Structure 1
Amino acid sequence: MGCGVSRPGAANHPDHDRELSNGTGSRPPVTVTDEATEKPKTGEEGAFELPESDFVDGRLGIVEAETIEHLRNNLAVDEHYCDEDFPADNTSLFFSSRVDPDVEWKRPYELHENPKVFVDGASRRDVVQGALGDCWFLSSCAAIARKPKLIEKVVPSDQVLVGEGYTGLVVCWFWRFGEWVMVCIDDRLPTKDDKLIFARGDNPQEFWVALVEKAYAKLHGSYEALEGGQSMDALVDMTGGLAERYDMEDVPDKDNLYKLLLKSSMNGAFITASRKKNDPRQFVMLRDGDWRLAYKTDENGLVEGHAYTVSGVASVIHEKLGIVRLVRVRNPWASGAEWNGDWCDSDDKWDGVSVSQLSKLGRTQQEDGEFWMSYQDWCNQFEEVSVCTIGPDFDHNGTVDRIGQVQAIKGEWVVGVSAGGSRNDFDKFATNPQYLLTITDPDTEESGEGRCSILVGLMQEHRRSHRHTSVKMLQIGFVIYKTQHPKCRLSPAHFCHSYEEGTSGTYINFREVLARMELEPGHYVIIPATFLPDCPGHFMVRVYSPKAFQLKKIT
């Protein structure tokens, strides 16, 4: 263990601290107290909690292209594919003991005479939430639908649902732990009274929303397993991009956050926001059969414990109020459950905005779940926002930056060998895997003279192995130290006498944690770790930079 005055880990230390820590011996000792926290509840969790287990193999729902071709080629004439791994029964609906005998599984052609995957492309307005608490996923679908080509990568548009070439087999693609994987389903969908009970499209002819939800449910083992989740995970799963989550109470400078949201929106990033559930009553969706029955709108027209899509960010000039910052939000219910405060659809304040500005905003007055509100009200009403970009945003200005190089390395924490835990025990911490990051050129345009912008992500293995258990998410984090000896692993003595150059912060059981930093050319060691020692797991380190760099494991 370290010695001296306790000091929590932080990314930035005064230069004189670093100068005093370049060696050992008489230099001041360092004690770092690493901390951990649990990821917050989303508010959509059901009455039953899916059991967790350690990661095993991670192939639940994932198939290879050869398997899909085999399935297609072995269908008889006029035979429609039936997925034995995700059958049309209650086992695909629920992981708990609940049974719903009234559900009928029907194919799209049984619900519409000419069903299509897409009708006139994809749009955020296509997404309508059903009787399932998965708005974290559907709000992400609506966000990504602003770029139809991305949705069509997840759900290829050349798949037919009736007529020539129809087989009843549908393929979707998701990004899982560093690679795009295929998920194969049949197109039988759960219905009641000839209507879809879960997600659907706004147009009854269009089925991409229902199909991608079913494929995602298969990856998770059941529809019920989609109850409660992190929007940033869904955003990454459908883009392969980088998603960051911001807790509003931890953002002291709301002006900078607005600038980030504005630029992110203008540059094509995907944004979701969620509200916490203040009502302490037990979640009752699984008991009543419809998540929406347990989650009513409040006096402002908003839903507690609910995820929304941020579909627009803008500023307008009001004839009396001057410049007003606005945020456009969409409820995946796609109903009249909308904000009824200032700048709502019917608010008189819109009369003070010019027609040209209204036209640019694309303002409508429909009961479609989409509405504008002031940025101040938005900050007061929402507690979390997730922003996903397809590539790294080094300078945090909402724009995807030019990438000079991207590298990823997968590794493993092995009990008794390389699962050392946090720096609360320097001796054990030193046994964690260590990766050498070598930076040779500064990036003056991005980060100022003499430094290079670096974005580092640590993702833990999350692909499911079993239908009735989820993968236990470990509290993870990473630390970056500078080194003068690039061929050698860092020892406990180094941690006792050196401050870190960067850190992901408090250990947390998210799938991925990220950190941006500006580093001088030189050699650095990235150390991924779990908070507690002897926690086995697989992980992946992702590094992005505008300039070329080298990344390799130190043995």
Structure 2
Amino acid sequence: MGCGVSVPESTTPEVPQDGYFKESLNGAGLMPPQVCDGRSTIILTSEDTITVVTSPTVVRAARLVYTQVLVTVTEEAVDKPKTGEEGAFELPESEFEDGRLGVIEAEAIRTCRYLTVEEHYCDDEFPAHYSSLFFSSRIEVDVQWKRPFELQEEPHLFVDGASRRDVVQGELSDCWFLSSCAAVARTPKLLERVVPPDQSLKGEGYTGLVVCRFWRFGEWVLVCVDDRLPTKDGHLIFARSSDPTEFWVALLEKAYAKLHGSYEALEGGQSMDAMVDLTGGLAERLEIAEMPDKMKLYKLLNKASKNGAFITASRKGDWKMSYKTDEHGLVDGHAYTVSGVATVSHQDMGHVHLVRVRNPWANGAEWNGEWADSDDKWKGVSDYQMKKLGRTNIEDGEFWMSYKDFCDQFEEVSVCTIGPDFDKDGTVDHVEQVKAIKGEWVKGVSAGGSRNDFEKFATNPQYLLTVTEPDTKDDNVCSVLVGVMQEHRRSHRHLGVKMQQIGVVLYRTEDPEHRLPATHFFYNYEEGTSGVYINFREVLCRVELNPGHYVIIPATFLPDSPGHFMVRVYSPKSFDLKMLPNELSLK
């Protein structure tokens, strides 16, 4: 036993997995009943007599009495929320296999570049064909695939660098991706790592081959496409740049579509996933309604924006209505880029908190309420402040609105930082070390599921985290951020990868040489957890730990759910991280 206390088997709580789910009230899918945390008291007397009681008023007389808590936990799981822009058809899901769809090795790209002047690269894996557009029976007529030099006399990958204003959405419902592109475009050096600028679209060095890079499951991978783009009547059908001679937006969207199997597969996704794919950073989704302290959220967004974080926001709604605006000028089921956060001084209203938002449609579909481009309230703001804000009055899809209206109109914000934000204040904190270890949940071996069954939970992979130095001399705690990412790379064009409901739990240990046994969980509370299990690609856990040894346990909600995962650990001070081997595998 982890605490030196022995308990009869009959006291071990049993939570059956079968029949655990019930229909959720909001129609989002199946979810379990409310979480509960039952606690009993174990009385250990000097005569080593154990009495298990359910009420603290029942205590046996003894010379010395020590109490311990018997922990029982009923954990819950939920399905990730719909984005609102999912298409009419959704890809059937399958188990993860090789995951290399769309990825190419550097050597293969070098081979493709050796073409004659008359030849232009044609991508056989993602051809200029209907199958690259749609996986469903959706019909798109009169599509012609054209190269940039066939559309513009002088095409360029970038014109005067990259900007959020470049991104213009087309007929595809992939604003979750394009709003992320616009967010990352505020840092051109990062975007140029994804789309290397030294690629010709005409003339010397031109081959018709375009290479992009995406961060996928712990590594930067290469994706190459040819530069043939779907058009109709001589115009691009899908995403484009606001400058018709610039093509980085359209070609990046095509490369991302190849990773997903088709353009249609990009309909309906999570902005935080796209931002991680473009940066390799850490992203988190924040539900606005679930944050009672709205001022705390504002301070977080303000700091995050000023410190270079990438932020998007989305609205609830039906994807069928995402082609038109509501009475406020906003689009239901749509993702926007948060391009600025500021506080202005108004001559009558005092200090006012504002948020600048950009619609990837990049047209006149803009907020028409208070603080809109033409609102009279701007007359009370000095010219100096307006110049500092970069305020314009043009129909480009970008607008300011009050923070209160922002909270009323938007459902969630997704924040992506290149490094960790330990205390969740919007500032990327100093990092001394970053370590990552990949692992696997194996059915019947190491896929133990959640703590609804402690015996099975103990079979999950376990990782020893050792922290020795506090953040500061005045404080004896170490800030640590732990992320667990499940494998997500696509294997087939016509099948999506099934996403498990995942979570991570941290426990302190006094025995760094061995795995934690099931008995440890009955008598010890966790030091930190990612919370409700959810089928996000990555879940995060922030903790402040005293120097010592800790065990990280990543898990799926249901047992015997196989999959691959990666543990990422960040800390402002040095630490050690290693896998604790299963004792059975050593015999």
CA distance in 2, matches of 1:241, 1:316: 31
What pairs up with 1:26-425 in 2 under 5 angstroms?
A: 27-73=68-114, 75-277=115-317, 279=318, 283-284=319-320, 295-425=323-453
1:133 partner amino acid: S
Decide whether aligned partners of structure 1 residues 183 and 504 sit closer, same or farther in structure 2, where only a CA change above 3 A counts: same
CA distance in 2, matches of 1:195, 1:94: 19
Decide whether aligned partners of structure 1 residues 389 and 50 sit closer, same or farther in structure 2, where only a CA change above 3 A counts: same
Structure 1 stretch displaced more, 486-495 or 368-377: 486-495
2:87 partner amino acid: G
The reply to whether residue 427 of structure 1 matches residue 455 of structure 2 is yes
Match of residue 482 from structure 1: 508
CA distance in 1, matches of 2:510, 2:191: 46
Report how far residue 4 of structure 1 moved.
11
Deviations 1:6-33, CA, capped at 9 Å, x for gaps: 99589xxxxxx9xx9xxx9762211011
CA distance in 1, matches of 2:423, 2:527: 17
Deviations 1:149-201, CA, capped at 9 Å, x for gaps: 11111000000000011000000000000000000000000000100010000
CA distance in 1, matches of 2:355, 2:218: 33
What runs of 5+ residues in structure 2 fail to find an aligned partner? 1-10, 16-32, 51-66, 582-587
CA distance in 1, matches of 2:325, 2:519: 56
Contact kept, 8 Å, 1:129 with 1:332, in 2: the verdict is yes
The reply to whether residue 537 of structure 1 matches residue 563 of structure 2 is yes
What pairs up with 1:431-446 in 2 under 5 angstroms?
A: 431-444=459-472
CA distance in 2, matches of 1:2, 1:132: 53
Counterpart selection for 1:518 from 544, 548, 560: 544
Report how far residue 205 of structure 1 moved.
0.6
Q: Secondary structure at the match of 1:481?
A: strand
Q: Secondary structure at the match of 1:28?
A: strand
Match of residue 519 from structure 2: 493
Q: Secondary structure at the match of 1:257?
A: helix
Q: Secondary structure at the match of 1:235?
A: helix
1:125 partner amino acid: R
CA distance in 2, matches of 1:9, 1:71: 59
Decide whether aligned partners of structure 1 residues 485 and 7 sit closer, same or farther in structure 2, where only a CA change above 3 A counts: farther
Q: Secondary structure at the match of 1:272?
A: strand
Structure 1 stretch displaced more, 98-107 or 250-259: 98-107
Deviations 1:406-440, CA, capped at 9 Å, x for gaps: 00000000000000000000010000000000001
Report how far residue 76 of structure 1 moved.
3.1
Report how far residue 3 of structure 1 moved.
3.9
Match of residue 20 from structure 2: none
Contact kept, 8 Å, 2:504 with 2:552, in 1: the verdict is yes
1:165 partner amino acid: G
Q: Secondary structure at the match of 1:85?
A: coil
CA distance in 2, matches of 1:463, 1:226: 14
Report how far residue 294 of structure 1 moved.
5.1
1:355 partner amino acid: D
Report how far residue 2 of structure 1 moved.
4.8
CA distance in 1, matches of 2:75, 2:472: 33
Q: Secondary structure at the match of 2:69?
A: coil
Q: Percent identity?
A: 73
Report how far residue 250 of structure 1 moved.
1.1
Report how far residue 450 of structure 1 moved.
0.4
Deviations 1:133-155, CA, capped at 9 Å, x for gaps: 00000000000000011111100
CA distance in 2, matches of 1:101, 1:125: 30
What runs of 5+ residues in structure 1 fail to find an aligned partner? 11-16, 285-292
State the TM-score, normalized to the length of structure 1.
0.93
Match of residue 289 from structure 1: none
1:504 partner amino acid: S
Report how far residue 98 of structure 1 moved.
2.4
Decide whether aligned partners of structure 1 residues 533 and 160 sit closer, same or farther in structure 2, where only a CA change above 3 A counts: same
- Structure 1 runs of 4+ aligned residues shifted over 3 Å read 1-10
Contact kept, 8 Å, 2:97 with 2:491, in 1: the verdict is yes
Contact kept, 8 Å, 2:359 with 2:366, in 1: the verdict is yes
CA distance in 2, matches of 1:236, 1:523: 30
State the TM-score, normalized to the length of structure 2.
0.88
2:386 partner amino acid: L
2:263 partner amino acid: Y
Greater RCO (Cα-Cα under 8 Å, separation 6 or more): 1
CA RMSD of aligned residues (A): 2.0
What pairs up with 1:16-35 in 2 under 5 angstroms?
A: 27-35=68-76
Deviations 1:494-513, CA, capped at 9 Å, x for gaps: 10111000000000000000
Aligned residues: 531
Question: Rg: which structure is higher?
Answer: 2
CA distance in 1, matches of 2:323, 2:248: 26
